[in-house]
Structure 1
């Protein structure tokens, strides 16, 4: 992967991690009723992260730091959290927040 691709992958990866961290922080602070009021919605955020992962897939040729794989994992956690918020499933939300909280964010 050339240096321009590496830099772009790193920037997109960092953005995905920051977004996932924001989602995690908000889910720890606010009730599901408040989370449902967010604009953009968490489902929209998850969709945007999926789009960024699709871009990473197109850029990736070599991923020694596994940033592309990790980006997909964080985006998937956000997608599961968004789905739990949409259907107001407190138990599922708690489980997925806990799983995301165990991630290293590195």
Structure 2
């Protein structure tokens, strides 16, 4: 029962259809701890671009959508709150997100 209350409290800021990544550690004495991470970068990119699936052939001039650098910045700020991304700079994390977008067939432009 304590697990359900804890996970509900930590995930209440997210919508019901948002996929969450959770790392759970259970101990022999029936205690536990868990880390709730934000959704994946690809999920954020698809939501921002308004698409269901990424390109089947990225890198072949088959762009399925475009996003601005402002979108990348907003996703970067959300991902930087993750425990494993806190040490990364905004620039490094942004470059990683742009790379993910390119591999999905989403073009990053300065302005739409």
Using structure 2 for the length normalisation, give the TM-score: 0.34
Higher radius of gyration, 1 or 2: 2
Q: Hey, which of these two has a bigger chunk of strand by percent? A: 2
Q: Which has the higher contact order (CA 8 A, sep 6+)?
A: 1
Q: Hey, which of these two has a bigger chunk of helix by percent? A: 1
Using structure 1 for the length normalisation, give the TM-score: 0.35
